[in-house]
Structure 1
Amino acid sequence: MLVHPWDAPLDDAEWQHWLTTHDFGQLAVNGPPGEPPFVQPLHFFHDPERGEAVIHLARANPLLPALAADPQVILSVVDDYAFVPGPWQADPDGPPEDGVPTSLYAAVQLRCTAHLVADPAELAALLNRQVGHFQPEGGSSTVAPGEAPYGRLLSGIRAVRLEVTGVRAKFKYAGKRAAGVRDRIAAGLAERGGPRDAAAREHLLRRGGSGPAAAAE
């Protein structure tokens, strides 16, 4: 993923905070020789204090033997995206029809080393951490080996600790555009009101301009 300076995170806290509310992504795992990668959509719990993400998979999932063969993986998350029509991006002194369409989006890619967990006690502890993230209000029984209602289900799944070894994050929100162009894009997003337009507009306004054009203003 190409990350221009004006699209880079303002700091680590920006992408870490974003992952607290964007916790569904795709895990890309190297496939067997000559085969394309496996890609698994899944929920995950990112724990920046421990430098890891936690997931679980069905024991029959073909990703598990692939992870055992090669534990180097990418956990990819993309959201808050919006299409920007060309006229919204036109230079202030140019005709609207000469504007170049683009996409706005946030993306985080975590490079990880996968550690498979089959031990029932450790597996239960990791599942409880996941449930605690997704259901902080409670409402579910604690997972414990050999105890109802979930203990008997542990044999059918495997947990995976994804040790984060590298991060590439991108917040592509017109950071290199002049203030007038960014204002036009923000107004267009507000008027259009598409499914993710409000989130994209919030990022655009929050980050402001960080590229060469903005610095020259």
Structure 2
Amino acid sequence: MLIHPWDAAHDDTEWQQWLAVHDFGQLAVNGLPGEAPYVQPLHFLYDAERAEVLAHLARPNPLWKALEADPEVLLSVVDDYVYAPGYWQAMPDAPPEHGTPTSYYAAVQLRCRAHLVDDPAEKADLLNRLMDHFQPEGGSARVAAGEDPYDRMLSGLRGLRLEVTDVRAKFKYAGHKPQAHERIATGLANRAGPRDATALAHLRRRRLQRP
């Protein structure tokens, strides 16, 4: 992923706060010899304090052999994306039709080393941490090895702990076109399509927080 200086995260807090509320992504795993990479959509929990990601998948999933062969993986999360037509992009002294269309989006890529979790007690702890994140209101029994109602299900899945070794974060919101910000902002506000309000908030926030 190309990251120009004006699109880079201002600091770790920016991408960590964004990732805290964007907990669905795609896990890319190197394929076995002669096979294409595996790409697995999944919900996950990112723990900033421990620099790790937690997830689980069904035991029959074909990517386990690939993970065992090569534990280096990439978790990619992309959201808040919009299409920006060219006539929004033109500089104030240029005709609108001379503008270049582009995409705006936020993206975080976590390079990780995968650790497989098969111990029943460790899997139960991992699942409880996931449930605490995704349904903090409760409403479900706690997972415990050897106890109903989930014990029999533990053998049918494997836990996944991803040790984060590197992070690449990008917030592409016209950071190199401050002269066109108002035109772009007006376009997003008037169009009011899916994700336009979120993209507009990013554009305005990053303009105010620009180093």
TM-score, normalised by the number of residues in structure 1: 0.95
What letter matches 1:44 in structure 2? F
Partners of 2:110 and 2:93 in 1: CA distance:
41
Give the match for residue 73 of structure 1. Answer: 73
Give the match for residue 163 of structure 2. Answer: 163
Q: In structure 1, the residue corresponding to 2:2 is in which secondary structure? A: coil
Give the match for residue 105 of structure 1. Answer: 105
Give the match for residue 128 of structure 2. Answer: 128
Give the match for residue 143 of structure 1. Answer: 143
1:21 aligns with 2:21: yes
Query: How many percent of aligned residue pairs carry the same amino acid?
Result: 68
Give the match for residue 194 of structure 2. Answer: 195
| CA displacement, residues 161-205 of structure 1 (integer Å, 9 cap, x when unaligned) | 0000000000000001024x1111111111111111111100000
Deviation at 1:209, TM superposition (A): 7.2
Q: Any unmatched runs of 5+ in structure 1?
A: none
Give the conservation status (yes or no) of the 8 Å contact 1:59–1:157: yes
Give the match for residue 208 of structure 1. Answer: 207
Deviation at 1:35, TM superposition (A): 1.5
Q: In structure 2, the residue corresponding to 1:34 is in which secondary structure? A: coil
Q: Which runs of 4+ in 1 moved over 3 A?
A: none
Partners of 2:26 and 2:172 in 1: CA distance:
20
Give the conservation status (yes or no) of the 8 Å contact 1:174–1:209: no
Partners of 1:111 and 1:173 in 2: CA distance:
24
Deviation at 1:210, TM superposition (A): 8.1
Give the match for residue 7 of structure 1. Answer: 7
Give the match for residue 183 of structure 1. Answer: 182
What letter matches 2:127 in structure 1? L
What letter matches 1:117 in structure 2? V
Give the conservation status (yes or no) of the 8 Å contact 1:29–1:72: yes
Give the conservation status (yes or no) of the 8 Å contact 1:176–1:209: no
Partners of 2:14 and 2:208 in 1: CA distance:
16
TM-score, normalised by the number of residues in structure 2: 0.97
Give the conservation status (yes or no) of the 8 Å contact 1:25–1:41: yes
Give the match for residue 41 of structure 1. Answer: 41
What letter matches 1:40 in structure 2? Q
Partners of 1:178 and 1:8 in 2: CA distance:
16
Partners of 2:209 and 2:129 in 1: CA distance:
37
What letter matches 1:208 in structure 2? R
Q: In structure 2, the residue corresponding to 1:57 is in which secondary structure? A: strand
Partners of 1:210 and 1:6 in 2: CA distance:
12
Partners of 1:126 and 1:6 in 2: CA distance:
37
Give the conservation status (yes or no) of the 8 Å contact 1:104–1:200: yes
Q: Any unmatched runs of 5+ in structure 2?
A: none
Give the conservation status (yes or no) of the 8 Å contact 1:175–1:209: no
Give the conservation status (yes or no) of the 8 Å contact 1:86–1:100: yes
Give the match for residue 91 of structure 2. Answer: 91
CA RMSD in angstroms comes to 1.3
